[in-house]
């Protein structure tokens, strides 16, 4: 799966996956503390992917708009999402009302199974991509973008120690070792408190400045 690394982050609370070509939500099934999920502008083709989100007890905010699964009938789409995720408080930049939840029981479609051909245990379609490559996807933390979205929704900003965002990219064979180191570092960040994350952020900032200065000198 493109976002299989999510299986290693069971305690993550906020995930931004917008604009990443995501099609499979099965790995999110493990994220039992997930409260906010941003998925707009991906390649999610079936509302049956909601099956993997139905057992997430704390999920309150979902942004799923601009995916193929939204279809041409916005009312049916919204009703189906709310019928299957009745604990949502916000869906696609719009607050959920009690009236909608009641209407969803009539107009929404109940989802009782994952997309055809997949299960919770094995959701990956046949592919020539190796497991190592899948697990070695690069992560891109976009806390600033997520907090900008949250501000538009009238919500408090999320602290850095509660946030993860993923941006899968293709790899070159000669970069696998470096990517494995990167993934090890990124997975360990979930063990840090706010003070530790700030130290990492400052260190990375200094390194980036040094690299940029070097690039300017070389030009």
Domain contains 95: yes
Confidence at residue 175, expressed as pLDDT on a 0 to 100 scale: 43
DSSP SS3 for 176? helix
Domain boundary among 66, 88, 107: 107
Confidence at residue 6, expressed as pLDDT on a 0 to 100 scale: 80
Domain contains 75: yes
Q: Are residues 10 and 98 in the same domain?
A: yes
Q: Are residues 98 and 12 in the same domain?
A: yes
Is the pLDDT at 1 greater than 50, yes or no?
A: no
Is the pLDDT at 150 greater than 80, yes or no?
A: no
Domain contains 30: yes
Domain contains 183: yes
Q: CATH number of the domain at 54, please.
A: 3.80.10.10
Domain contains 36: yes
pTM for the model stands at 0.58
Is the pLDDT at 10 greater than 70, yes or no?
A: yes
Domain contains 204: yes
Element (DSSP H or E) covering residue 143: helix 143-152
Is the pLDDT at 57 greater than 50, yes or no?
A: yes
pLDDT > 70 fraction of the chain, expressed in percent and rounded: 65
Structural domain count of the chain? 2
Domain boundary among 107, 135, 160: 107
CB-based burial label for 118 (10 Å; 0-12, 13-18, 19+)? buried
For the residues 115-138, what does the mean pLDDT come to? Answer: 46
Domain enclosing residue 61, as ranges: 4-107
pLDDT tens digits, one per residue of 181-206: 566 666 667 667 788 788 878 888 88
Confidence at residue 88, expressed as pLDDT on a 0 to 100 scale: 96
For the residues 48-65, what does the mean pLDDT come to? Answer: 94
Domain contains 153: no
- Do 3 and 24 touch, CB atoms closer than 8 A? yes
- Do 54 and 78 touch, CB atoms closer than 8 A? no
> Which one is predicted more confidently, 175 or 82?
82
The phi, psi pair for 38, rounded to 5°, reads -110, 115
145 pLDDT band, cuts 50/70/90, is low
Confidence at residue 66, expressed as pLDDT on a 0 to 100 scale: 93
Tokens of 179: 């990517």
4, 5, 12, 143, 164 from 8: Cα distances, Å: 8, 5, 9, 19, 12
Q: Kindly report the average pLDDT of the chain as a whole number.
A: 76
Q: Are residues 179 and 98 in the same domain?
A: no
> Which one is predicted more confidently, 54 or 153?
54
* Sequential DSSP letters for 80-112: HHHHH-TT-SEETTEE--HHHHHHHHHHSPPP-
Comparing CA positions, the residue from 166, 118, 163, 121 lying closest to residue 2 is 166
DSSP letter at 133 equals H
């Amino acid at each position: 799966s493109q976002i299989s690394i999510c299986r290693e982050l069971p305690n993550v609370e906020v995930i931004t996956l917008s604009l990443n070509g995501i099609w499979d939500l099965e790995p999110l099934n493990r994220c039992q503390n997930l409260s906010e999920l941003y998925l707009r502008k991906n390649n999610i083709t079936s509302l049956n992917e909601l099956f993997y989100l139905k057992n997430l007890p704390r999920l309150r905010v979902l942004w799923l708009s601009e995916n193929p699964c939204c279809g041409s009938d916005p009312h049916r789409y919204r009703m189906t999402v709310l019928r299957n995720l009745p604990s949502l408080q916000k869906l696609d930049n719009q607050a959920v009302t009690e009236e909608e939840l009641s209407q969803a029981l009539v107009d929404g479609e109940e989802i009782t199974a994952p997309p055809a051909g997949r299960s919770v245990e094995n959701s990956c379609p046949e592919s020539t991509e190796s497991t190592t490559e899948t697990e070695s996807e690069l992560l891109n933390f976009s806390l600033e973008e997520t907090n900008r979205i949250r501000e538009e929704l009238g919500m408090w900003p999320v602290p850095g120690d509660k946030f993860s965002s993923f941006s899968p990219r293709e790899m070159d064979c000669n970069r696998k070792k470096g990517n494995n180191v990167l993934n090890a570092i990124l997975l360990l960040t979930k063990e840090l408190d706010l003070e530790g994350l700030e130290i990492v952020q400052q260190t990375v900032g200094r390194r980036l400045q040094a690299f940029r200065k070097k690039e300017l000198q070389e030009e």
